[in-house]
Chains A and B, each alone.
Chain A
Amino acid sequence: MLITFGCIAIFFAVIVVILQLSGIRDRDFTEYAVGGRSFGPGYQAMSFLNTWYPGAMFTAFGGMAASAGVISFYVLSYSLLTVVLMYLIARPVWIWGKTFALHTQPDLLALRFNSRHIKTIAAVIGIASGIPWLVLGMQALGTLFQYMSLGTLSFSEAVIVGVAIIALRQVWTVRMGMRGVVISDFAQGIVAYVIGVIVLLGLIAWMVLSQDITFSSLDDAKFAIPSLGSKEGPLYVFSLILTGTIGGWCWPYIFVRLFTADGVHSLKKSAALAVPLSLAFGVSLLMFGMLGAQVQGVSAAPNDVWFIVAQKAGGLWLLGLAGVIVLAASMGHTDGNIQATGAQIANDLIGNYWNLDQRQLIIIAKIGMLALTILASWLACLDLPALFQLAVLAYQGIIQLAVPQFLGIFWKRGNTYGAIGGMVAGFVTAIVLELIYPGYLPWAFGLTSGAVGLAVNLAIYVAAAYLFPRSGAEQQRVDGLFKLVEEKQSAAFAGSRVATQPA
């Protein structure tokens, strides 16, 4: 236990030292909420990965690969496709963010649709949807600390220890805001995904070369993808990948990464830097999970495959390192979630109705983050059997932000009636369907509730765009927003032409 907890303590101390040495001071709300829009591609790439892939990847998706097999690869498909989406929206979102001093996703919607209320609605959907995942992340630490204690702690005791450690970590998140999050993401990301991939490849090699474990000894069910005649329905995988892809940039803590970069170039380069690591991590983790299913003890507890195989292959030292890797991934997601939510509470809820100065916004964001940490820590220590279902439901809800968000960026015609009406109708449809048909809809060929809600949302948005024409002034304002992006693009193109002409 000294070895495993020693590894955790050393890692925690290193992260705290990095944060302390960075000596961050709040200057204004832009600094606190989006790190002063100052980060280059390396920080952006690692910050995206560390927020995107939580520690639960090793438990939930590693476990899914071990128990269900190849279908778990859908997470990799949508994790990469969502970066394509990021590549496409990077320019308009960053330019509008910089020009109009936007700090959050609801800020962007308020700008595009010229509505204060859409900001509140988007913030409420984002915050409410994010809490179950925050609590789930804290509870996942229970598994981590139960293994680190070598079974000495009960699961509930391990959850309390995990929650206490992650809550302690939030002291620096609250103090330092986004700059602290991004700097620590860089260090945590290297541990979680660079060292993580090395350990995963080593464990795969150990299973294949030393234990004679191969794909050929897995049963047929592990290679099934739900298709025609399946229980889930032929469109189930399509729906999972589609909602995952477009939903990725609906999470406030992911979307805000578009505002932390120092330019469009950094955003696009960060995408190019992140995808090879994301691919290597996803492939190695999911192949590890599938092969790990054959290690003794994993079939009874597939979610623990990462810890079981690490301990069998490398003893307590490797188990300690496995714990550090999961903690590094968990910290990144939790910090990002809490920081983005705190900023939304100040900027999109309180600040939307009261005139607050920079200092007041920062103080309210800090109070919001502290309150959220306490709330999530308390919930994580409760026995909440329906939480995972709630988290799935939340995912089906959050993607309803996608219609006004993406169509608002690429299509001039949408208006505030369609945006608010579609979002609310889609959200309600998704929740009602998810409660009646949890998981997937048998009468819709396996589509998820979120996908059906999205269709309702889209229909309302498009119908409203044609049925309720905007005023001339509003039309002119929206045209101006799109023209701004075109002008910046033209300037970049013209600059490149001049630069490439011979002297």
Chain B
Amino acid sequence: MPAFKRDLRNAQPRWVSAWFCADAIIALAPPLYWAFDGDRTPILGVPVVVLYFIAVSTCTALSIIAAYLSEAFRGEIN
């Protein structure tokens, strides 16, 4: 299937969709946050469990910015 038709079927490029799915998984998957429960090992003075939440949020924020820049660069947002 030509790339153009594939793009028409999927509103987002595949890598953006994959990144959005990854956002949901790392934020919601219980085994992931269970693994950080109570982990106060400091990295630059900040406990790992706090860094886990900051990393999840940063990943989500970056995915939205990347999605927008990707669409804007290709001129596909009307």
Contact = CB atoms under 8 A, between A and B. Distances in A.
A73 B50 contact: yes
Contacts of B28: 238, 241-242
Interface string A491-503: 1110111011000
Contact of A269 (B30, B45, B61, B72): B72
Contacts of A272: 64-65, 67-69
B53 A238 contact: no
B34 A84 contact: no
Most buried by B among A214, A489, A497: A489
Interface string A159-176: 000000000000000000
A215 B58 contact: no
B23 A279 contact: no
A128 interface: no
Interface string B38-74: 1110100111011001101110110111011101101
Contacts of A499: 75
B50 A237 contact: no
Contacts of B67: 87, 268, 272
A83 to B, nearest CB: 6
B39 to A, nearest CB: 7
Given A216-B42, A220-B40, A268-B77, A237 B7 contact: no
- Contact size range, A: 35 or more
A290 B27 CA distance: 21
Contact of A275 (B24, B37, B64): B64
B40 to A, nearest CB: 5
Nearest to B12: A88
Contacts of A91: 11
Contact of A489 (B11, B36, B46, B63): B11
A84 B63 contact: yes
B47 A227 contact: no
Interface residues of B, number: 45
B74 A80 contact: no
Contacts of B33: 225, 227, 237-238
Given A84-B23, A264-B78, A276-B65, A493 B47 contact: no
B42 A87 contact: no
A268 B71 contact: yes
B38 A278 contact: no
A99 B65 CA distance: 28
A278 B61 contact: yes
Contacts of B60: 77, 80-81, 83-84, 275
B77 A492 contact: yes
Nearest to B67: A87
B77 A220 contact: no
A220 B38 contact: yes
A484 interface: no
Given A84-B63, A283-B54, A492-B77, A268 B68 contact: yes
Contacts of B53: 70, 73-74, 76-77
A77 B78 CA distance: 29
B68 to A, nearest CB: 4
A16 interface: no
Contact of B4 (A76, A225, A493): A493
Nearest to B24: A81
Contacts of B61: 80, 275-276, 278-279
Contact of B38 (A223, A290, A486): A223
Contact of B30 (A223, A237, A496): A237
A268 B76 CA distance: 11
B78 A263 contact: yes
Contact of A497 (B4, B30, B46): B4
Interface in A454-503: 486, 488-493, 495-497, 499-500
A220 B61 CA distance: 29
A70 B49 contact: yes
B22 to A, nearest CB: 11
A287 B54 CA distance: 10
Contacts of A83: 60, 64
B1 interface: no
B30 A271 contact: no
Q: A-B pairs with the 8 shortest C-beta distances?
A: A496-B75, A73-B53, A272-B68, A492-B78, A227-B34, A275-B61, A80-B60, A265-B77
Given A70-B53, A78-B27, 6 more contacts: A73-B57, A76-B53, A76-B57, A84-B24, A272-B64, A283-B57
